Structures are given as C-alpha cells and as structure tokens.
C-alpha cells in the first residue's frame, strides 16, 4: 500500500514559521497536508515560509492546497521556496505566483515576507 502522508517539519522562529514538506503532494496526500497547514495557519501570528524542496510530485490538488493555505495566511503572509521547475511553471500558468511569492531561496522568501530593519537594509545596500 502506498504511503499517503506528506512529511512535515515545522521550525518555529521568532519572526516567521518555516514548514519543510517532503513526499508527493497529490490527490491522495493533499487533503491531509492542507488540513495540517490550515491548522498551523489558523494559529500562526507570523508569516509562513513553505519549503517545498522535498516535494517530488505535485498535481492540481497540491496546488489547490497551497492556494487555500495562502488565502488563510493573507494577514501575516506566505511564501514558497524550493518548487521544482515544472511545479513553478504551473503556478505561473495558473497565475498563482501573483498572490504567492515563489522564491529561489529561504533568504529571498524572508525578504518578501518580513519587514526589514534599518541595519538589515544598510547591510544589504553595502
């Protein structure tokens, strides 16, 4: 029998929450992953960073799950990092990238999500 669970590791930081996912995010696994992410989003008081680098397969149900979680995170924000090229292309075709930042690195995702301090901006400019 095929495993129908997406592995999820939550790293709770002071200014954001990183969620590392691995496995296949498809019709069989997306509902459970969506429910767990929605539970997290409903109690989060900080932005969520979803690291999908460990997701080996993505289908329409997976995209619906991520889109639903993004809507639930509108107040604090959500960014996605680590999408495989095919999945990133599908996000763009469906215009999901207009509401969900698709980032190459966690640092880029944090730049999209978190307000910068004056020191961080000065360091970046120099």
CATH number of 97's domain: 3.30.750.24
Domains contained in the chain, number = 1
Containing structural domain, residue 28: 7-125
Q: Determine, yes or no, domain membership for 57.
A: yes
What is the chain's alpha carbon radius of gyration, rounded to the nearest angstrom?
15
pLDDT confidence of residue 41: 94
pLDDT confidence of residue 39: 96
- 62-105 confidence digits (pLDDT tens): 999 999 999 999 989 999 999 999 889 999 999 999 999 999 99
Distance CA 80, CA 58 (A): 14
Which is nearest to 65 in space by CA: 98, 99, 101, 27?
Answer: 27
pLDDT confidence of residue 1: 40
Residues 6 or more apart whose CB falls under 8 angstroms from that of 125 comprise none
With a cut of 70, say whether residue 124 has pLDDT above it. no
Q: Determine, yes or no, domain membership for 1.
A: no
Q: Determine, yes or no, domain membership for 2.
A: no
Q: Determine, yes or no, domain membership for 52.
A: yes
Q: Give the neighbor-by-neighbor strand order of the sheet with 7-12.
A: 7-12, 17-25, 48-58, 78-81, 102-103
Distances in whole angstroms, Cα of residue 79 to Cα of each of 1, 15, 71, 100, 119: 33, 14, 12, 6, 23
Q: Determine, yes or no, domain membership for 111.
A: yes
- 39-71 confidence digits (pLDDT tens): 999 999 999 999 999 999 989 999 999 999 999
């Amino acid at each position: 029998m095929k495993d129908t669970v997406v592995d999820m590791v939550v790293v709770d930081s002071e200014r954001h929450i990183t969620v590392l996912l691995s496995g296949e995010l498809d019709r069989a696994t997306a509902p459970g992953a969506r429910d767990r992410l929605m539970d997290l989003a409903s109690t989060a008081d900080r932005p969520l960073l979803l690291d999908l680098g460990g997701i080996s397969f993505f289908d329409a149900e997976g995209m619906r799950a991520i889109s639903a979680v993004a809507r639930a995170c509108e107040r604090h924000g959500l960014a996605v990092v680590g999408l495989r090229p095919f999945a990133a292309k599908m996000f763009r075709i469906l215009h999901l990238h207009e509401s969900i930042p698709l980032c190459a690195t966690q640092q880029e995702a944090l730049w999209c999500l978190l307000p910068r301090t004056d020191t961080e901006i000065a360091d970046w400019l120099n």
